[in-house]
Structure 1
Amino acid sequence: MKVLDLQCPGGHRFEGWFASADDFESQLSRKLVECPICGATEVSRLPSAPRLNLSGAAQPPAQQGAPDMNELQARVMRALREVLDKTENVGDRFAEEARRIHYNEAPARNIRGVTTAEDARALVEEGIDVMPLPIPAALKEPLQ
């Protein structure tokens, strides 16, 4: 099993596990490798050192108070998962359902969905709080 360090054009770094280097190249050419954060399929391989498990080896000190990019991405993904778990997906009926909730025509609850920029602006003008939240492709479907 080959564990490769990968990066998308958006700067998101992630690991990919492949049977071999040829398997990675094959999947990459068929656009099967995608960034778990933004879904980009233009992925490049980063230089990486072999991973060695050395018990008792000193770990390099982390920068004080600054989480590394992997930790930051992990935090964002955890927060997005929590939002998905605690909201109802109303799909393309978002604007309509947000209005129904606002005007007490539907039960109050946390919802998410899709709408146009124009409809989102109209909701804000009506005093309805909305927030755009792009959901990475990796969270839209269950892992296989």
Structure 2
Amino acid sequence: MIIYELICPKRHRFEGWFSSAEDFDGQKDGGLLSCPSCGRHDIEKLLTAKIRTSGPDLLPAVRDEQGAAQDNTQESGDLQELIEYVLMNTENVGREFASEARRIHHHETPYRNIRGTASRRETEELLEEGIPVMALPIPPQSDWH
């Protein structure tokens, strides 16, 4: 099961649950998705963290070394996948991140997923203003393992 945060052109945000990414694509391409607030069918995915809704509920308390090594490899792969997704699905606004996030939040510019840099103070101010932001340090690609 995959959960996506979705948005329509009128900026209505809502959640959609799909059996797979292909299921979402098929429903979107088939015009089967609609905004529950306004009924628009031109729906887009918002950038969100991957949520897994299947698998073991509890992690074993003790792991063997091989299991731990496999987990580290998987985690590195997951992190690399997340970073690549962010880079491919966001616009880099650089040091203008805080001001651009405010403009998007106040509907002064079209909605889009952005990334950039902000100071700790700017980040705290954005959060206090109710503007959702997330710190995601992206290491140089040469450091990806």
Q: TM-score normalized by structure 2?
A: 0.49
Q: TM-score normalized by structure 1?
A: 0.50
Structure number with bigger Rg: 1
Higher relative contact order (CA 8 A, sep 6+): 1
